[in-house]
Structure 1
């Protein structure tokens, strides 16, 4: 009879641990995906911003020396990411391809100008900064005009801000819910051992002595859940990369490292704090209050 009861208790204990680990794993998966979405959104918004180009139309008949001086000028600008030179002849060929006919046969002379197409660093792509940047570039003696697609920049900036705001709001709300769920899982796990806590206290064990095994036990379960959540997230990222290679989730090692590190940090901190508070609560209760 006693052996069967012990087996029953062990099965209950294993089931309790399993349910806690599964709960922690699911919650940490949610936290991980939210973190991945926020960090990846920042990268993607930077990617699209760096596609914005500014065209620098040049004065006619620049010498190679003047051209090299202009390139040196561009290299020294902190907002310039890359630049590409297009001669007036190449510009004419490109324009002819766009319209589907050779416009030089009608005009005779090439009215187009040589130009540099520069890509800006993401941090400098905004309507206000681009106005300042174009004015600064036009001060150069070799540049006649600096032009960019202002409506596109306005639309891109507006959409990025709107999407970023709602993404952060959603991530904050869901993260708060995830923390509450994680806290509840740990509290329920310790609630099932409240009589053990009180028994240890009644035989003279100190509060710190009682708390320590419960805290470390919860932390171990949390770290196990973090490990399982990390494996699942990495597996799903690998699968998504095969379906949507443009996202390059597995190639972005820095983002993945931050997400995985964040999952383990959240698991450690929340389980430690939750188990400490839950154990402390039951230590303060009287014996007859444990039944409620």
Structure 2
């Protein structure tokens, strides 16, 4: 009879531990995914911004020396991400390939101009910054025209601001939910041992002596749950990197390491605090209040 009761107690204890580890794992995994999404959404928005090209066209009288000087100026500028020189002959060939016939054969001349396709750094793809850059470039008298999609620039920046605001709100909500869920799991785990806590207190054990094994056990469970969460996050990262290598998700190893370390630290901190205050609550209760 005693053996059956002991087995029942062990099964209940294992179930309690499993539920705590599972809840910690799920909450921290979702938090980690949210953190990775925030980091990579910034990278994706920057890549999209840097994909918007500014085309600078030169007049026919612009000589090779002028083109070379402009190239050196682009290299030295702080706003240039990449640039590509497109000669009028190369542009004509590209148009011929697209249209399917040689338009110069009946025009007799090449009406196209030498140009540069400039991709700006993400920080400069703003309405005011790009307007200032355009104004500075137009001071070059050999430049005939500058073309870029102004509406797209404004649309991208406005949408990014809206998305960033909602991501911030959702992140805050998730953090609160994470704390509440893990705290609830810890409190339920301590609640199951409330009579043991009170019995130890009645035989003269100090509060710190009683708290120590419960806090340490919860921290270990939190560490196990955090380890599973980190393993799950790494699995997702490797899956994304293998299927979408262009994202270069592992390029920023420092940020990813900080997020994973934050997930581990959050698991330890929340379980420690929750268990500490839960045990303190039952230590301060009267024996009659336990029922």
Query: Taking structure 2 as the reference length, what is the TM-score of the superposition?
Result: 0.90
Alignment partner, residue 20 of structure 1: 20
Q: Does 1:278 align with 2:278?
A: yes
Deviates more, 1:109-118 or 1:132-141: 132-141
* 1:1-292 pair list within 5 angstroms: 1-249=1-249, 253-291=253-291
Shift of 1:224: 0.5
Deviates more, 1:129-138 or 1:247-256: 247-256
Using the alignment, how far apart are the partners of 2:15 and 2:149 within structure 1? 61
- Contact kept in structure 1, 2:61 and 2:142, CA below 8 Å: no
Structure 1 gap ranges (5+)? none
- Size of the aligned set, in residue pairs, is 291
Q: Deviations over 1:34-82 (max 9, x none)?
A: 1122222111111111101111222334444433322221122211111
Calculate the aligned-residue CA RMSD, in Å. 2.2
Using the alignment, how far apart are the partners of 1:205 and 1:58 within structure 2? 87
- Give the 3-state SS of the residue equivalent to 2:78 in structure 1: coil
Using the alignment, how far apart are the partners of 1:141 and 1:219 within structure 2? 69
Using the alignment, how far apart are the partners of 1:135 and 1:258 within structure 2? 41
Query: Taking structure 1 as the reference length, what is the TM-score of the superposition?
Result: 0.90
Q: Deviations over 1:136-171 (max 9, x none)?
A: 222235433332111221222233223333233233
Using the alignment, how far apart are the partners of 2:271 and 2:113 within structure 1? 65
Using the alignment, how far apart are the partners of 1:248 and 1:73 within structure 2? 30
Structure 2 gap ranges (5+)? none
Return closer, same or farther for 1:210/1:160 CA change in 2, 3 Å cut-off. same
Shift of 1:245: 4.8
- Contact kept in structure 2, 1:88 and 1:115, CA below 8 Å: yes
Return closer, same or farther for 1:100/1:151 CA change in 2, 3 Å cut-off. farther
